[in-house]
Structure 1
Amino acid sequence: MRFAPQLEQGRLLIRYKRFLADIETDSGELLTIHCPNTGSMLNCMMPGGRVWFSRSSDPKRKLPGTWEISETPQGRLACINTGRANTLVEEALRAGVISELEGFTTLKREVAYGQEKSRVDFRLEYPESPRVS
């Protein structure tokens, strides 16, 4: 996924009050940034772990940036900004990054299904798949 402007890197110092994280940027700057994920994130963060954040130039914002991605204790990348997760997955699907799901002809987002009209994030249609409503 391409971010504009490009993400900056740093290290997590601490996350607190669900929405706040203190980080140290690669240049040594100490910042408090917004954490858009309200979950526990136990497997997505560790003190000293690598983080990627976007900086805002909006003078009305209280915090200078938003935590976007984190390196997990297992060395994987986790999308922290829940508002970007589906865009990231869609980009990966269209680029064929998830080989088990390759070959679809149609991708639809936020599709209602079933009698309850529940929603799924994505519906992939394949050339020979039965029609599901």
Structure 2
Amino acid sequence: MLFPAPLIPGRLLRRYKRFLADVVLDGTGEEVTAHCANPGAMLGLKDEGARVFLSQSDNPKRKLKYSWEIVEADGAFVGINTAHPNRLVEEALHAGLIPELAGFAGLRREVKYGRNSRIDILLEDETGGVTYVEVKNVHLMRTPGLAEFPDSVTARGAKHLDEMADMVDQGARAAMVYLVQRPDCERLSLARDIDPAYGAAFDAARRRGVEAYAIGCRVTPQEIVADRLVSVAAL
């Protein structure tokens, strides 16, 4: 995924009200407010003074013309925009990055299913079989090399796990794909101390046949590319 225009560097002043971030732009010193498309806690990624990169929109209807895309943390670029993972995973699936999910005949996004939910990606094979793919963005790293999910309580995530297991019960396949938007993690685990209920829902879904995969990203101010498998460790 190439960014359509060069990102604008700056320094983070504060992230607040979940979806807002004040940033001082490099060069001009202008203070701007950027949209932060990330509902999580962003542990370790929102320190004052952190180097950040913003995209700029020319859409006059947007209230905020800047969006926070990347933060530099732990010596690496980390993608924090949760609007991108579905597209990144779709690109990875077309590239055959996850062999178990390769060979599909069709791919659709945001398909209604379950109890008033939408699946991120629906894969269809030539015989009419389907695979429900739920994508989760991951950027928490508390131990070097180990990515963790979630970084805050996610009742919605637990609900989706249960609904995907229901699809397996009905004869479909279902898979969780955890997209690690950072280049410095080679393993993924659950942050069970942060959300025990999600951990329990994950365990139940796995017992019912829901699959789990993780992929990592190369992140630069020019592009984000899902480029490797990440081992799913000790879940």
The residue aligned with 1:57 is 58
Letter in 2 for 1:35: C
The residue aligned with 1:8 is 8
- Other structure's SS at 1:87 match: helix
Letter in 1 for 2:8: E
Instruction: Establish whether residue 115 from structure 1 lines up as the match of residue 116 from structure 2.
Output: no
CA distance in 2 between counterparts of 1:13 and 1:7 reads 18
CA distance in 1 between counterparts of 2:62 and 2:20 reads 14
- Other structure's SS at 2:169 match: coil
Q: CA deviation at 1:7?
A: 1.4
The residue aligned with 2:49 is 48
| Residue-by-residue CA offset, 1:1-52 (whole Å, 9 max, x unaligned) | 3100221111111011111100011122210010010111012221111111
Instruction: Establish whether residue 84 from structure 1 lines up as the match of residue 84 from structure 2.
Output: yes
Residue segments in structure 2 that go unaligned for 5+ positions in a row? 108-120, 123-130, 133-166, 179-210, 214-235
Instruction: Give 1 or 2: higher strand fraction.
Output: 2
- Other structure's SS at 2:176 match: strand
- Other structure's SS at 2:47 match: coil
The residue aligned with 2:22 is 22
CA contact (8 A) 1:45 1:71 kept: no
CA distance in 1 between counterparts of 2:46 and 2:92 reads 23
Paired residues, number:
119
CA distance in 1 between counterparts of 2:79 and 2:53 reads 10
Alignment CA distance shift 1:10-1:91 (3 Å): farther
Letter in 2 for 1:54: S
Q: CA deviation at 1:58?
A: 1.4
Alignment CA distance shift 1:105-1:17 (3 Å): closer
The residue aligned with 2:36 is 35
For normalisation by structure 1, the TM-score amounts to: 0.70
Residue segments in structure 1 that go unaligned for 5+ positions in a row? 125-133
Alignment CA distance shift 1:106-1:77 (3 Å): farther
| Residue-by-residue CA offset, 1:62-117 (whole Å, 9 max, x unaligned) | 11211111112x12222211011243455578497xxxx68x96477554262266
For normalisation by structure 2, the TM-score amounts to: 0.42
- Other structure's SS at 1:61 match: coil
RMSD after superposition: 3.2
The residue aligned with 1:127 is none
CA distance in 2 between counterparts of 1:88 and 1:16 reads 27
CA distance in 1 between counterparts of 2:24 and 2:32 reads 6
